[in-house]
Amino acid sequence: MNELATLDQYFGVWAIQEEPFHTAADLYSRPDFDLEVHFRTKGADARQQAAAYGSRGYATVGHDGSVAVVELHGSLMKFVPSVTAGTSTVQARRQIRAAVADKSIRSIVLLIDSPGGTVAGTADLAEEVAKADKQKPVHAYIEDLGASAAYWVASQARAIYANETALVGSIGTFMILNDSSKRAEKLGIQVHVVRAGEFKGSGTPGTEITDEQLAEWQGLVESINSHFLKAVRTGRKMSTARVKQLADGRVHVGEHAKALGLVDGIEQLDATIERLAGPATSSPPPIAAVTPQSQPQTNTTPASVSPATPVSPSPRRQSAMDTEAAIQVFSNAIKLQMLECGVDRKTATRTIARRHPEAHKAFLKATNPHMAAAIG
């Protein structure tokens, strides 16, 4: 793909927290900004994520690996942004669909740390979340920042949780127009727009932005914003009046966001994952009972066999199950550490081994026969 073909995604209507937007815009306008370098490195984050999570593009966590984690980090745009770190909404939709289709996945977590992004692509991703939740539980977790377009998407999940210092909200949309007609006049430049259509060519650099043009763009922004408000109203089950009260562009911290109804609870990410995965059991569920109808015909009468009595696994099978469980629990803890702290697998493994020595010992005994003999 020609990366320069995606440059146009930076122009248009945005649903993003203003400060990150202006920071990125300032970077773009700096004289030492090298556009070629940024586009040449475009997609590096996406490639690293693909290498870490495989063809599915998402991590699996929980004691049994049944929870899919779809990350929405940085600016949300249809294509992976190059000027700032961010997420492709098109890729995120594919990941959600893959998680829904995967029979080993029981639930999905949207791990969000984003100021929002372009309106383009956001509504489609939000609809994908709502659709997925009808098939498998989808919960959103806001880790530090879930603003504007990111909140638009989160609002379609079954529930939203956040950490205590998370900034949540920024409901609204905007676009920026520059009237450079005075500058062109000082430079002795007169710009003519030859148009067919009253508003065609509006905003052309060097031309005046009229009151009529501003009114037209204001109507466009409000029309797009109405879709944002409708999504929040439907997803969060709020009245239209209540959503309009909250749609003033402000963000709210942790408990205040909860009090306003923007999130359902304040907790750590692992608590959200544990709830979706369900409690880990010390032993696997019993094998289904053998009913008289499934047994070969013998002299034993049906009344002598109780259908409600579970058949315990053999010692060898139980040992294999315990080994598999030890590997899964330790591996999932490593994945969660990589997600939460943004570290590589080697660093995450050292951290988890230090925090949970018993789990590490069980993992080593399960995966290394020589180590098992040394540990005893």
**What is the C-alpha to C-alpha distance for residues 75 and 16, in angstroms, rounded to an integer?**
8
Checking DSSP bridges between strand 116-118 and strand 159-162, what pairing results, if any? Answer: unpaired
What burial class does residue 134 get, using C-beta atoms within 10 Å of its C-beta: 0-12 exposed, 13-18 middle, 19+ buried? exposed
Q: Is 248 helix (H, G, I), strand (E, B) or coil?
A: coil
DSSP output for 300-323? S-GGGS-TTSPBPPPHHHHHHHHH
Q: Which listed residue (200, 226, 312, 319) is catalytic?
A: 200
Q: Which listed residue (148, 155, 170, 202) is catalytic?
A: 148
Fill in the DSSP letter of residue 2: -
Length, in residues, of the chain: 376
Establish whether 66 is a catalytic residue: no
Residue type, 162: A
Characterise 14 by phi-psi region: left (phi > 0), alpha (psi -120 to 50), beta (else): beta
Q: Which of 62, 56, 58 is nearest to 325 (CA)?
A: 62
- CB contact set of 176 (below 8 Å; sequence gap of 6+): none
Establish whether 181 is a catalytic residue: no
Report, as residue numbers or ranges, the catalytic residues: 148, 200
